[in-house]
Amino acid sequence: MEPKSSFKDRKKLNLTVKREFQQWMLKQVLLAVVVSSVVAAIILYFYARQEVMSSFFDAHVKIRRVSDLLLPVVIAGSAASLIVGVLLSVFLPQKIAGPIYRIEQGLEKIGNGDLTATVNLRDEDTLKDLADNVNHATASLRRQVHEAKAGCMELEKAVLAGDSAKTTELLQLQKQLIAKLIT
């Protein structure tokens, strides 16, 4: 049974990992917040600009608190901010969702044994470096599998030729190639 890790044992939050991606994401979130705030402020401004002198005196019996007067403004501003936030949350994640989908498709092919599959993203996609790392890892695996296949063919030739010394040497080489693959 492993001991429970305490708060002190945890690693600190690392904000320097993928700095460009984090900055892009932060800009997108800040943009959504700023747009929502501006829309709410515009609505509040237009409500506040209305003439209330005559309607205020007529309604002074009905309005007991300032919150009664501002409640429609707050509701309208919140509704507008919510609508803008929902619209931004629908369209902004496409910059990430599309590349993630293509990376998943490539990884599924690779997972099914197709080491010729590559993940192709546009140069301006936010996860281009992740796709490049996946392609590099796949190329490395492909190279190791080719070496193992070539060694297997050489081993088969040596066995068929009856050359026991060569067979032993090639068998050791195959073991070394397979040992490189950590499973």
Instruction: Flag whether 40 is in a domain.
Output: yes
112 shares a domain with 63: no
Distance (Å, rounded) from C-alpha 146 to C-alpha 152?
10
Predicted confidence (pLDDT) per residue in 74-116, tens digit: 777 777 777 877 777 777 677 777 888 889 999 999 999 999 9
Q: Say which amino acid occupies 16.
A: T
Looking at residue 15, its pLDDT comes to 52
Distance (Å, rounded) from C-alpha 179 to C-alpha 171?
12
Query: Whole domain around residue 78: which residue ranges?
Result: 19-49+59-92
Whether 14 shows a pLDDT value over 60: the answer reads no
Looking at residue 4, its pLDDT comes to 55
109 shares a domain with 87: no
116 shares a domain with 74: no
Distance (Å, rounded) from C-alpha 55 to C-alpha 21?
53
Whether 126 shows a pLDDT value over 90: the answer reads no
Q: Of 92, 117, 143, which one is at a domain's C-terminal end?
A: 92
82 shares a domain with 37: yes
Predicted confidence (pLDDT) per residue in 127-149, tens digit: 888 999 999 999 999 999 899 89
Looking at residue 183, its pLDDT comes to 73
Looking at residue 109, its pLDDT comes to 95
Instruction: Flag whether 163 is in a domain.
Output: yes
pTM as predicted = 0.59
Instruction: Flag whether 101 is in a domain.
Output: yes
100 shares a domain with 88: no
173 shares a domain with 129: yes
Instruction: Flag whether 13 is in a domain.
Output: no
Instruction: Flag whether 3 is in a domain.
Output: no
Instruction: Flag whether 154 is in a domain.
Output: yes
104 shares a domain with 30: no
Phi, psi angle pair for 60, to nearest 5°: -60, -25
The structural domain count of the chain equals 2
pLDDT above 70 covers a percentage of the chain that reads 73
